[in-house]
Homo-oligomer: A and B are copies of this chain.
């Protein structure tokens, strides 16, 4: 039995505390420095950006995760601590040490994440003073969510409660998007916590799997930041017997669910976005081809602009599908917009275009379903529409 609680904070999971403060790293007066802490040591896993340029916190945290243990995360927004030379690593390391000293743990058990402008050093004097002042409590989970935001218009949070054959545990997560792609603020950060007791190898494997079908399936504009990271901490306070590869199905499903929830929240809050677009591809020769097709359609500027204009322009969907690399046989191809068939066996299907425009115009979420009718491969991806506002945000942004 799963129960998704959309707005629940990470501190809803037993043992986790959070705190946040404003030290003036963002232009507006907003929370910009935070700590997530667990009262007991946790098994930990991480997934990081594939960008060749990596921020200092990413490099530091990759090192700290070698032991698969962590007890705290310190995070700031407004400054990415990327492309600033050796000082970057020194500053990220000092952030971990400052948090460790405050919490009475080892610096290696602190993970660090930063998001914001590239090429500017952290204002360490303010970070030092700020970390000392942060007060941790179970009530401050939402403050942590806010302190991670950059061009996000709202925090992204949620929890899943699991009760599977008497084994009870919770998984909660907090993420920042996206406005993805915002210039230097394009970072995706996500922290997930659970009170389940989980084997370290399985924890890493399950996080990678969940990320592949959630965060790796969203596209705002195809950019990948040097700072992207996902951390998963498991503290074992639920008292369950250890979850691993042989008994991990329910945990994996619950983790997938929270990751998909957060990923969709990020897509829906893409810069300038007015609609969530879900792409469902089925009948592909292989699952990998279904995934390729879904991601290519989700990131097509033409498809995104058409949906923004409530235009049931399936020619753009076919065109993106055709260049995705997935095997397509035109005569077998069916395409649906929400529940309406717009292309049947490679030819235009009759539908009421005016009605479809009305429906698209009134929806804040649109489903594009592509049936390749070639095999059993299926995959979903999520994106958002492309609006003039996206361009305005990204061309008026000041370095």
Contact = CB atoms under 8 A, between A and B. Distances in A.
Interface stretch (A31-39, A191-199, A260-268, A317-325): A317-325
A336 interface: no
Interface of A: 50-53, 82-85, 117-120, 181-184, 186, 221-226, 300-302, 305-306, 308-309, 311-316, 318-324, 326-328, 330-331, 343, 346-348, 353, 386-388, 390-392, 394-399
Given A85-B347, A330-B83, A395-B305, A319 B119 contact: no
Contact of A394 (B306, B327, B353): B306
A313 B50 contact: no
A399 B312 contact: yes
Contacts of A394: 301-302, 305-306, 309, 386
A302 B388 contact: no
Contacts of A119: 314-315, 343, 347-348
24 contacts: A50-B323, A51-B319, A51-B322, A53-B319, A82-B315, A83-B348, A118-B315, A118-B319, A120-B348, A182-B302, A221-B301, A221-B302, A222-B300, A223-B319, A223-B320, A224-B319, A301-B390, A306-B395, A309-B396, A311-B398, A315-B399, A386-B391, A387-B391, A388-B391
A316 B319 CA distance: 28
A83 B391 contact: no
Contacts of A226: 318-319, 322
Nearest 8 Cβ contacts at the A-B interface? A309-B395, A118-B315, A53-B322, A305-B394, A51-B322, A388-B388, A184-B315, A224-B323
A387 B361 CA distance: 23
A353 to B, nearest CB: 7
Nearest to A181: B302
A225 B301 CA distance: 13
Nearest to A310: B395
Contact of A308 (B120, B184, B330, B395): B395
A362 to B, nearest CB: 16
Contacts of A306: 183, 394-395, 397
Contact of A323 (B118, B223, B305, B388): B223
Contacts of A85: 331, 346-347
